[in-house]
Structure 1
Amino acid sequence: MRPLRQRKKTCGEAMGSTGPPKGCGSNIGSLFYNLCDLTTVWGVVVEAVAATGVVTSFVLFIILMACLPFVTNKKRKAMVALQAGSLVFTLGLFGLTFAFIVGRYSTGCAARRFLFGVLFAGCLSCLIMHGLWLALLQRGRGPKCWMFCLGALGLWLVEVIINTEWLITTVVRSPPGAEAIPDLSCSFDNMDFVMALIYVMVLLVAVVVIPVFTLTHKQRQWCKDGAFILVTGILTLAIWVAWIVMYLYGNQVVGNPSWDDPTLAVALVSNAWVFIFFYTIPEISFLATEDQVQEPLDDGDHVYPARSLVYDNILKEQETRPQNMYIENKAFSMDEPSGNSYS
């Protein structure tokens, strides 16, 4: 019996017998030829874009943490944990791009299959919880921040469990009597890879649907948050439709199935930049911009009226205190001569 799928030859394996390609030194292994090969430019371009994304994500994370002590809006400050989590997963997407640029080997293929869905699920889970928080904020009340963080963690762990089971069933356990495959982790069909991401697709649909309910928020500042989450979800959905169609059908129609790895690498880096430009940067700018107008409190929270009453009472006490002191002093002065007369 033939194996499900023969391992594809990488660019380095195809050129290993003729020497390193243009741009690569003789001391570079064949697995890493795509990182320096100037004849196939896609690897160098995607590598540069991904490296820029790694640096940008790290700088934005530092800025986000530096802005935290100066945030005066407690509601925005409560969502910093989700924004930081999304930024960490976005950094992981940029890093995973390099695994799709280099050649295929057992550890790299296992990392691809496991981390692709896990990292996307992490980003989308944070977006879902942020959108849900905005929707509940519109009604006036909502759970505490740590509950939304636990919700995002729970949604993310579901994908972790799914990918773990997929790796165990396809890599660790092999069918009895099946032909031995050298790199079992790299031997999988494109359809199997896409089917393992169904849960991530469900999260993606939720990211697009939930922010719609926040666009009618009474406060304009929260409408902006919902709008950016919605735009991020729509662009992510478009990228996913494009790479899935290309990954399943396009490369075979063109007659060049070796473009599967470039397709996934471009999808990773482009989607990661969408998260940066349309979610992370706007949220950091909202945090850094202090609201000039004091926002009204939620329904049921009557803090300002009570505070104003206390303040008025203090003013009244300060106004009446000098008058009372004057009356007391006058009474004392009137009583003093009578006391001397008795003496």
Structure 2
Amino acid sequence: MTNPLATTTQPPGCGPKLLSKYFRLCDMNEIWGIVLEALAALGAVTTVVFILALFILVCKVQDSTKRKLLPTQFLFLLGVLGVFGLTFAFIIQLDGKTGPTRFLLFGVLFALCFSCLLAHALTLTRLVCGRKPLSLLLMLALAVGLSLVQDVIAVEYVVLTMNRTNTDVFSQLSRERRNEDFVMLLIYVMLLMALTFLAASLTFRGTFSGWKRHGAHIYFASLLSIVIWVAWITLLMLHHFDRKWDDTILSTALVANGWAFLLAYVIPEFCRLTKQQNPLDYPVEDAFCKPQHMKQSYGVENRAYSQEEITQGLEEMGDTLYAPYSTHFQLQPQNSQKDFSIPRAQTHTSPYNNYEGRKDGS
């Protein structure tokens, strides 16, 4: 019995028993599928290598603040791995199985990635200002909690859409309606992307420059993501494009965004992961206990050196002399009649000069 999904005209590069919906994975006439498949596979392998390296380097991270970021970065790598894996769902032909997968996982995976980047950016905004970073559990709660919102939105949309009819609703929808629903479903992800970009830009305003480099990684990763998303949404909403290019546009956006995450954020972060803790990246130990907005005074103010008092003293004393750059004691002229000269030795006539040993008149 012949499989109805198989076709008698096999494209060059595909096996004779391969189902038609997988032709893009091997069709030499549509080379874009093979190229994107190779790039997605390479990105997935690279991400797995970084995940394994994260477990190996966890004991070599000397900075306690960077060690708190490791669970969030692990979730981010899982999201990037899912982005590369989802590319195959867009290369394969749209049907009853790939349709729900596309609508469900596209927003969920990107929401997880941008939530992790946002949690990292928020703790960097505190570190560059000399404040304590967010705790490990709080960063995890932010990353997971923010991404769960998109999970609820996507699951609700897919369930409600598939319950309308028993037919293959995603493939039966018109191109305009399907693309509009797909973009509208990702509004929350776009909000996370914008917040991540804003939080990353705030890290450049701090005083501790060591953390600004980490903020720059998030800044460029989110900036590249914004450019990629603007490009694929614009192309997807154009009506003069043939519908066969929709899958090409979306799969290209997935691969490009996945590699943007790796090149702009993951690789630079791993290069600085095991760096020795720099004391200049942190305030002094008692900086968190010092009262703020108070004038600090060191020692007792010497009022003798007050320029205003010296000037007022000169005006009041009149003839009083003031010698600058000296001990600043007030010098006054004194008219003393005492003689303080050093006496010199003087010779006196001895009473014994005419003494001859006898009395006068003898």
The whole-number CA distance in structure 2 between the counterparts of 1:295 and 1:187 is 60
Q: Which residue of 2 aligns with 1:79?
A: 69
Counterpart selection for 1:272 from 230, 255, 258: 258
Kindly state the Cα deviation for residue 212 of structure 1 after the two structures are TM-superposed: 1.1
Bigger CA radius of gyration: 2
Is structure 2 residue 221 aligned with structure 1 residue 221?
no
The whole-number CA distance in structure 2 between the counterparts of 1:34 and 1:261 is 10
Is structure 2 residue 200 aligned with structure 1 residue 211?
yes
Contact 1:190–1:248 under 8 Å retained in 2 = yes
Q: How many residues align?
A: 280
Is structure 2 residue 18 aligned with structure 1 residue 31?
no
Contact 2:193–2:222 under 8 Å retained in 1 = yes
Q: Deviations over 1:152-178 (max 9, x none)?
A: 111000000000111111112x1xxxx
The whole-number CA distance in structure 2 between the counterparts of 1:35 and 1:296 is 49
Q: Which residue of 2 aligns with 1:341?
A: none
Contact 1:76–1:287 under 8 Å retained in 2 = yes
Q: Deviations over 1:310-340 (max 9, x none)?
A: xxxxxxxxxxxxxxxxxxxxxxxxxxxxxxx
Q: Secondary structure at the match of 2:103?
A: helix
Kindly state the Cα deviation for residue 301 of structure 1 after the two structures are TM-superposed: 3.5
Counterpart selection for 2:92 from 90, 102, 109: 102
The whole-number CA distance in structure 2 between the counterparts of 1:215 and 1:232 is 15
Kindly state the Cα deviation for residue 103 of structure 1 after the two structures are TM-superposed: 1.2
Kindly state the Cα deviation for residue 84 of structure 1 after the two structures are TM-superposed: 1.0
Unaligned runs of 5+ in 2: 289-362
Contact 1:97–1:269 under 8 Å retained in 2 = yes
Contact 1:110–1:186 under 8 Å retained in 2 = no
Give 1:191's aligned amino acid: E
Is structure 2 residue 49 aligned with structure 1 residue 59?
yes
Q: Which residue of 1 aligns with 2:155?
A: 164
Q: Secondary structure at the match of 1:19?
A: coil
Kindly state the Cα deviation for residue 184 of structure 1 after the two structures are TM-superposed: 1.5
Give 2:261's aligned amino acid: F
Identify the range of structure 1 (140-149 vs 203-212) with the bigger mean alpha-carbon deviation: 140-149
Q: Deviations over 1:275-318 (max 9, x none)?
A: 01111111111113324x43464466369xxxxxxxxxxxxxxx
Q: Superposed, which structure 2 residues align to 1:138-287 within 5 Å? A: 138-139=128-129, 140-172=131-163, 174=164, 182-188=167-173, 189-249=178-238, 252-254=239-241, 256-287=242-273
Give 2:211's aligned amino acid: W
Taking structure 2 as the reference length, what is the TM-score of the superposition? 0.74
Higher relative contact order (CA 8 A, sep 6+): 1
Give 2:36's aligned amino acid: V
Q: Which residue of 2 aligns with 1:8?
A: none
The whole-number CA distance in structure 2 between the counterparts of 1:192 and 1:302 is 52
Contact 2:84–2:258 under 8 Å retained in 1 = yes
The whole-number CA distance in structure 1 between the counterparts of 2:7 and 2:21 is 13
CA 1:262–1:181: 2 relative to 1, 3 Å: farther
Give 1:31's aligned amino acid: K
Q: Which residue of 2 aligns with 1:294?
A: 279
Identity of matched residues, %: 35
Q: Which has the higher helix share?
A: 1
Contact 1:114–1:164 under 8 Å retained in 2 = yes
